[in-house]
Amino acid sequence: MTSVPQQPADFADIARLIAASRQQAVQAVNTLLVELYWQIGERISRKIAAAEWGDGVVAQLAGYLAQTQPGLRGFTRRNLFRMRHFYEAYPAREIVSALLTQLPWTHHLIILGQSKRPEEREFYLRLAAQEKWSSRELERQFKTALFERTVLHPTKVSALARQIHPDVAGIFKDSYVVEFLGLPTGHAEADLHQSLLARLKDFLIELGRDFCFVGSEYPLQVGGRDFALDLLFFHRGLNSLVAIELKVGRFEPEYLGKLNFYLEALDRDVKKPHERPAIGVLLCASKDDEVVEYALSRSTSPALIAEYQTQLPDKALLRAKLHEFYLQNTQPDDATD
């Protein structure tokens, strides 16, 4: 008599253990590789700096490794110089174990190849680790000039939003790039709304890792009347609902009144007892920063104003503006390219 096979659900715990172990193994291998590449880069850098080696010796080293380590891949002359660059970018040993080993080597090559300043490297290092970006998404963030936009245009939020959510400025952006929607010029609000829902996964990545989708045209009933909030999310880190209202034109101060009304309805009728007050985002096609400042200065709700961009920004122009910004905000002796 054969035994009755167990249901698949009985195996779920073991399957989770295997998956977790495999992930830990991958991370352990990555940690070892990143540390190895840093150590090799350190030796090459110091030998060259001490004039014990010339650049030609690195090519000889690559040939030697190819002969003595059959099957060894990734230690070409070009990659060995990349390891040297890696070490010289992060010469402090403590940062290696603290941050660098959290990312795959491919991510480091992207960051080293595209960052112009040490603070830009650290910016992408921390965000890539925090958001767990794939290499493809990391490349996209460079194309959207996220660092330049963040420095030049800090997030604008109301005073109450900062008071209730002290970390809010680091979670939201001043502008969101949604080039993946493929929206035409002159699109309607309905087009924007439907496109965001169709590409919700991409929009969630652009918003940030801790955002969770709750609903579209979320129903709110107040005083016998029915209202519909464009998009409702929940942010795990803030432990609060996030209401997003869409506007395909420029920001107008009167938009804040409706958003404040929605936030009050969410806090009274939707928010759970353990959650913090809801926060609102007006996502507009454009905005005047001075108008935004005036509108938010007396706002009694935790709200912020952001704009969406349907095309990738002109990165060369933003880099030029960033260079000018640094020149204006640093001492002459400290200014760098």
Domains of the chain: 13-141 (1.10.10), 149-315 (3.40.1350.10)
Contact at 8 Å (CB) between 306 and 330?
Answer: no
**pLDDT, tens only, 253-285:** 999 999 999 999 999 999 999 999 999 999 999
Q: How far apart are CA 25 and CA 146, in angstroms?
A: 32
**pLDDT, tens only, 287-337:** 999 999 999 988 888 999 999 999 999 999 999 999 999 888 875 555 444
**pLDDT, tens only, 119-178:** 999 999 999 999 999 999 999 999 999 999 999 999 988 888 888 888 888 899 999 999
The encoded tokens of residue 216 equal 């579209």
| Cβ-Cβ contacts under 8 Å for 146 (sequence gap 6 or more) | 124, 127, 173
Give the model's confidence band at 201: pLDDT under 50 very low, under 70 low, under 90 confident, else very high.
very high
The encoded tokens of residue 241 equal 């609902």
**pLDDT, tens only, 71-106:** 788 899 999 999 999 999 999 877 777 788 899 999
